[in-house]
Structures are given as C-alpha cells and as structure tokens.
Amino acid sequence: MNIYFSGIGGVGIGPLAEIAYDAGYTVQGSDATETLLTRELRGRGINITIGQDGEFLFACHNTSRIDWFVHTAALPDDHPELALARRLGIKTAKRDELLAQIIKEKNLELIAVAGTHGKTTTTGMMVWTMQQLGIPVSYSIGTTISFGSSGKYIPDSKYFIYECDEFDRNFLHFSPYLSLITSIDYDHPDTYPTETSYLAAFHEFITKSEMTIMWKSDGNQVHSTETTGWILGDDEVMDIRISGAHNRRNATLIAKAVEYLQAGDQDKAITSLQSFPGTDRRFERLDDNLYSDYGHHPVEIAATLQMAREVSDNVVLVYQPHQNVRQHEVKDQYTNQFELAETVYWLPTYLSREDPDLPILTPYELTKSITNRGAIYSANLDNELWNAIQTARQQGKLVLCMGAGSIDSWVRQRLTNQS
C-alpha cells in the first residue's frame, strides 16, 4: 500500500505515518511548516516536503500510484492537495479509517480507550503497563510521551492500543476486541448537536466492541447492561497509589483490563501503574510550582484541581476556555468546579472551528454562575499575567495553566525566554 499523509508533521497524522512505515507500507507526505516530527520522520527515510500546493503529491503519484491520501479533519474542503487527490482518483480518508485498515490487515486485536475525559493518560497507562509486563504492543497516543514515540508498530505484537476519540464520530470506524470507557459527559457540540446524539454514539461504539469495561454510572447513561460488558460499581476503585481521584479510577480500568486479558500478574500491574511517568500536557510539571494541563471541560477542571490540591494547599489556576461553540454548550455548567483554586485567571476563549453566527461569549458571561466568582480575574496572555504567575510561584503556590488552545505554548515560550 502506498500512502500519502497531508499534515504529516501534526501530532495526529505524524504518529500514524510512523506506524504505517514500521508496518511495511510506502509512506510520504507534506506539511505547511517544518516540525519536530517532520525532521524525525525524514531522518527515518520518509520523503517529506514543506509546502502543500499539490506539486509534490502529483510527482509522487506519477512515480508510483498512491493508494490512500490521508488527512486531518481540519483540512479545508478546497485544500489544494485534497482537491488534487480527488481529481486523480486517489482514495481520500481521515486517519482513523486508515488505522482501522492497518489493524485489520495486520490481524491485530484492538484495545480501544474511549470516553469524554482521560483518554490520553489512560491510553498511556495501558501502554506503559503492558510494556512493564513484558507484553509487546503496538499503539497510538494523542500526545508525546517520555517512554517511547507517540505511535509504534511492533511486528510480533498481538494487541494495538489506541486512544479512540469520539470527535467527528471517529471511534465508530472501529470494532474493538476490548474497549475501556473512562467517562461520559456531553461534549463536541460541533459533531453532536444534542446530548442524546452524543450518548447514542457511545451506545453504538459499545455494541461494536466485543468486550467493554466501564463504570455503572456511565453504563446507565447509554443504556448499557451487564450483558454488554464488565460494569464496575462506582465505588470499586482500587487502592492504587497515584495522584488524582480520576487517575485512580482510570488506573482501575487498566488493572481490570489486564485481568480480563490474562496479561500478567495483577500485583505487578498495580506496581507498574504506580510508577507510570505520565504523558505530556496532562498535569505535566514544567518547572518548580508550574504545571500544564489540556483540560477544557468543567468535569476535567474539577478533577485536575482536585489532583493539584493533593500536591499543594495553595493552587492558582490560569484557564483558557476552548472553542466558543463549546462554551455556548457548557456555560451553564461552570458552577462549583473552581472552588479548590484560591485564584483563577480567566483568559479569552481560544477560537477554533467556530460557527460565525454564534456571538463570542465574554469572560463575564462565562463566569457569572461560578460559586467562588470573587476569586476570578480576567486576564490576557501578556507580561502582566506572567508576572502574576511568577509571583505566585515565588510564594510557594502551585500554578496550573489549563486549556487546549495556545496557553501551553505561551507558557513554554516564556520559560525558554527566561532561561
């Protein structure tokens, strides 16, 4: 199979390109800019160009017919490469469709990690635990990790562990051998216009899974019963010594998965979970008293603040809401989730994939129902905010920078500039 990846330097497409290359497929691709991933992939011998006007795609197709043109959901319909691929009669697909094909062709059994919150960390936990148990696994995680590449294909592996995202209905491309459901809370209104449609998608995903391990409260939401999987009581959280109540719940899912797969000694699995090094952007320590987290949903905010308070009694939160369209859905849910933060700096919403007909909600509109509203201050990504962050850190307070937009890169750049 000859595959062309458009956006090959991205965190979603790049690891998939590496998986395909390791699995023996012919791989090439393009990106608008040079990234760490493009340099790494080129260093492995993959032919990559910077620039996406279509010339490279045309040349590759003329040299050896391309079978698949793989792109992200963010690629506009009139993108030069996508338009050219269609004119040339090349099969076009998003990443999950190709991954499902690779899993099928390589006879791998899919272990899918799905859910509204905690997918990335839980996927990382599963990969880490299987590795510590000496079981070779192929995998794909939606972030960088300290104990391997983001995507990996191992020829003698039996399982493929995958962070199975519900956005754009991606997870419905798969029929997993085993699915783990971390949590279910309505999200992605740009894909699912109603909560009912969101829950229906999870119900469909579960019916496509041979076995599912999930919590009873989530099973009740999607009308799942004991016959559809292993339903854990909400009080069945195991005594696994890691920070964060939500992490302990997700680690319990991993321990139960190891038990179901008969993949190794349960005590060793728990020991491995307790030594899990974490994943990037999930309560990631950047420097003394400074952490970054990807959370952008009220439930995630509350869970991460609870974990932060296990580390420090004084927590300052810098929060960047993500997507105006999402804020219209969750604005009434912002209530008591911020009470564990003594100060909250509230940034303007990071805009991405927006509905131009929706008015942009202001920080005041988003925070008016928050129970500790007196602790909230409007802020911007500027010198004044950075000085406030530095002062809090010097006072021994834990500063948590949270959001799925530009806040993480802004903080990292500030740290680089001061070093």
CATH number reported for the structural domain that contains residue 228 in this entry: 3.40.1190.10
Pair (295, 349) in one structural domain: yes
H/E element, 183: none
Confidence of residue 144 (pLDDT cuts 50, 70, 90): confident
Structure token pair of residue 312: 């420090």
Q: How many angstroms separate the CA atoms of 232 and 254, rounded?
A: 12
Instruction: Provide the residue type at 68 as one letter.
Output: W
Least confident window among 46-55, 76-85, 215-224: 215-224
pTM: 0.79
Pair (153, 293) in one structural domain: no
Q: Is 279 among the domain residues?
A: no
Q: Give the mean model confidence (pLDDT) for residues 79-92.
A: 97
What is the share, in percent, of the chain residues with pLDDT greater than 90? 84
Q: Which of 320, 335, 339, 336 is nearest to 409 (CA)?
A: 320
Q: What is the mean pLDDT of the chain?
A: 94
Looking at the structure of the chain, the number of domains it has is: 3
Half-sphere exposure of 313 (CA within 13 A, CB side): 0
Q: Is 259 among the domain residues?
A: yes
Least confident window among 219-233, 307-321, 329-343, 344-358: 219-233
Give start and end residues of each alpha helix (H) in 262-381.
266-274, 298-311, 324-330, 363-367
Tokens 């303007």 sit on residue? 348
Pair (214, 144) in one structural domain: yes
pLDDT number for residue 268: 94
Pair (122, 240) in one structural domain: yes
Pair (293, 266) in one structural domain: no
Pair (266, 213) in one structural domain: yes
For 179-223, how does the pLDDT look when each residue is reduced to its tens digit (9 = 90+)? 999 999 999 888 999 999 999 999 999 999 999 999 999 999 998
Q: Is 102 among the domain residues?
A: no
pLDDT number for residue 42: 94
Q: Give the mean model confidence (pLDDT) for residues 319-342.
A: 95
For 107-132, how does the pLDDT look when each residue is reduced to its tens digit (9 = 90+)? 999 999 999 988 999 999 999 999 99
Q: What is the CATH number of the domain that holds 370?
A: 3.90.190.20
Half-sphere exposure of 40 (CA within 13 A, CB side): 15
Q: Is 213 among the domain residues?
A: yes
Q: How many angstroms separate the CA atoms of 124 and 248, rounded?
A: 14
Instruction: Provide the residue type at 97 as one letter.
Output: E
Q: Is 103 among the domain residues?
A: no
Pair (265, 311) in one structural domain: no
Q: Give the mean model confidence (pLDDT) for residues 50-74.
A: 95
Q: How many angstroms separate the CA atoms of 391 and 289, rounded?
A: 11
Pair (9, 123) in one structural domain: no
Pair (224, 193) in one structural domain: yes
Tokens 């008016």 sit on residue? 368
Confidence of residue 288 (pLDDT cuts 50, 70, 90): very high
pLDDT number for residue 225: 61
pLDDT number for residue 227: 57
H/E element, 203: helix 195-208
Q: Is 248 helix (H, G, I), strand (E, B) or coil?
A: helix
Half-sphere exposure of 50 (CA within 13 A, CB side): 9
Whether residue 314 is predicted with pLDDT greater than 70 in this model: the reply is: yes
Which one of 274, 302, 333 terminates a domain? 274
How many C-beta atoms lie closer than 10 Å to residue 25's C-beta? 18
Confidence of residue 168 (pLDDT cuts 50, 70, 90): confident
Whether residue 228 is predicted with pLDDT greater than 80 in this model: the reply is: no
What residue numbers bound the domain in which 245 lies?
108-274
Instruction: Provide the residue type at 126 as one letter.
Output: M
Whether residue 226 is predicted with pLDDT greater than 70 in this model: the reply is: no
Q: Give the mean model confidence (pLDDT) for residues 341-356.
A: 94
Q: Is 315 among the domain residues?
A: yes
Q: Which of 347, 337, 348 is nearest to 315 (CA)?
A: 337
Give the residues across from 112 on adjacent strands: 162, 179
Which one of 234, 253, 274 terminates a domain? 274
pLDDT number for residue 73: 80
Pair (369, 398) in one structural domain: yes
Q: How many angstroms separate the CA atoms of 357 and 170, rounded?
A: 26
Q: Which of 244, 219, 222, 241 is nearest to 232 (CA)?
A: 219
Pair (338, 228) in one structural domain: no
Tokens 């939606």 sit on residue? 142
How far is C-alpha 57 from the geometric centre of its chain's CA atoms?
A: 29
Pair (212, 125) in one structural domain: yes
pLDDT number for residue 354: 87
Q: Is 98 among the domain residues?
A: no
Which one of 93, 123, 152 terminates a domain? 93
Confidence of residue 244 (pLDDT cuts 50, 70, 90): confident
What is the share, in percent, of the chain residues with pLDDT greater than 70? 99
Q: Contact 187/120 with Cβ under 8 angstroms?
A: no
Q: Is 101 among the domain residues?
A: no
Q: What is the CATH number of the domain that holds 78?
A: 3.40.50.720
